[in-house]
Amino acid sequence: MVEETYAPGASVSLVARRHGVNPNQLFSWRRLAAEGAYTAAAAGEEVVPASEHRALQHQIRELHRLLGKKTLEAEILKETLQQIEPKKRLLLRGPLLPPDGSR
- Element (H or E) spanning 82, and its range? helix 50-93
What's the mean pLDDT in 44-67?
A: 89
Quick one: pLDDT band at residue 35, thresholds 50, 70, 90?
Answer: confident
In a domain, 61, yes or no: yes
Total domains in the chain come to 2
Give dist(CA 36, CA 34) in Å, integer. 5
Residues spanned by the domain of 12: 1-47
Contact 5, 11 (CB under 8 A): yes
**pTM of the full structure:** 0.41
In a domain, 101, yes or no: no
Contact 5, 26 (CB under 8 A): yes
Percentage of the chain exceeding pLDDT 90: 41
Backbone angles phi, psi at 10, to 5 degrees: -90, 150
What's the mean pLDDT in 87-92?
A: 66
